[in-house]
Amino acid sequence: MIKKIIIDDEVCIGCGACEGTAPDHFELGSDGKAHVKKQYSEDDKETIEAAKNGCPAGAIEVKEVEDKK
């Protein structure tokens, strides 16, 4: 299993907080929604967790998914 950052487009309000907290992993697109810039890495887990917890819309999820490699 690997961990993956998932952003719900429908829920994201485009506030940019996640990008401010974890700019390596999140970026605000021209569509006004946050996108995953770089996927989850254990090295940045605290920053990613902070971005997830700081999302006012609750649009960010960190999910364990099957590694399809």
- Write out the residues near ligand SF4 by the rule CB under 6 A: 7, 12-18, 28, 34, 55-57, 59-60
The minimum distance between CB 69 and ligand SF4, in angstroms, equals 27
Is 10 or 67 the residue whose CB approaches ligand SF4 more closely? 10
When the beta carbons of 2 and 11 are compared against ligand SF4, the nearer one is 11
Q: Which of 16, 68, 19, 15 is nearest to 47 (CA)?
A: 19
User: Given the complex with ligand SF4, which of 16 and 65 has the nearer CB atom?
Assistant: 16
Tell me how far apart the alpha carbons of residues 68 and 11 are, in angstroms, rounded to a whole number: 27
Q: How many CB atoms lie within 10 A of CB 18?
A: 29
